[in-house]
Amino acid sequence: SQTIHQWPATLVQPVGSPLSLECTVEGTSNPNLYWYRQAAGRGLQLLFYSVGIGQISSEVPQNLSASRPQDRQFILSSKKLLLSDSSFYLCASVVGTGGPLPSYEQYFGPGTRLTVT
Amino acid sequence: GENVEQHPSTLSVQEGDSAVIKCTYSDSASNYFPWYKQELGKRPQLIIDIRSNVGEKKDQRIAVTLNKTAKHFSLHITETQPEDSAVYFCAATDSWGKFQFGAGTQVVVTP
């Protein structure tokens, strides 16, 4: 089974500072990778997804960007953080299950709690 | 693209009673419907799922039903316990494998 790592677990950053959150996946190859954001008491907002190295699709235009330099590494970045970026950031990995009815299973990393001050 | 609606947004039940959460989806090509449980401050955890070739699936006190014709699926929790208190999310995958989540249901089980 796959394991998803995220770091850091928590982060406090001042407004206007840069951001880099990292996600790595073990136990699978060529996963589809996702970045979600979850404000307190809210649902999951999809930010970016990637189907392969260097392939990034953005769901919501904002001051964040993502990169996938390796098959099992996904990075979320920002050049200048906003107060509204304070949130719980989740990385997720999706793998196909194959079989007579192909489908996909998604698992989440432990998350990074970001507070922008 | 896929659109998933989830109801209710909050659900209070007495311990021992049943809880039902309903979701509808829009893409008839969706073929996988997972349910996640998220406790406060934790990541969402997959608790049960159902594929489009099955109408019902049960795992101890939780069950999920799927009506492909009506494009809705439901989570049923029987004999609720305080540890069932959490936020529950439904999701559907479209033909690409991209997940669309419902807005979530806050379940509170009172002793």
The distance of B73 to chain A (nearest Cα, Å) reads 17
Give the strand pairing for B4-7 and B19-25. Answer: antiparallel
* Closest CB from B31, B49, B89 relative to A101: B31
* Closest CB from B32, B102, B103 relative to A103: B32
d(CA B71, CA B67) in angstroms, rounded, equals 6
Backbone angles phi, psi at B82, to 5 degrees: -55, -35
Where b means 16+ CB within 10 Å and e means fewer, B12-50 reads ebeeeeebbbbbbbebeebbbbbbbbbeeeebbeebbbb
d(CA B6, CA B103) in angstroms, rounded, equals 6
Residue B59 has a pLDDT of 94
d(CA A64, CA A79) in angstroms, rounded, equals 8
Task: Determine whether A2 is exposed, middle or buried from the number of CB atoms within 10 Å of its CB (0-12, 13-18, 19+).
Answer: middle
Per mean pLDDT, which range of B15-19, B76-80, B93-97 is the poorest? B93-97
Tell me the one-letter amino acid at A83: L
Element (H, E) at A104: strand A104-108
**Residue B96, pLDDT above cutoff 80:** no
Query: pLDDT band at residue B2, thresholds of 50, 70 and 90?
Result: confident
**Residue B23, pLDDT above cutoff 90:** yes
**Neighboring chain B residues of A108 at a CB cutoff of 8 Å:** 36, 43-45
Residue B20 has a pLDDT of 98
For the record, the structure tokens of A36 come out as 């979600």
B104: helix, coil or strand?
Answer: coil
What does pLDDT average to in each consecutive run of 10 residues of chain A (117 residues)?
93 97 93 93 91 89 91 96 96 78 81 97
- Asked if B31's CB is within 8 angstroms of A44's CB, the reply is no
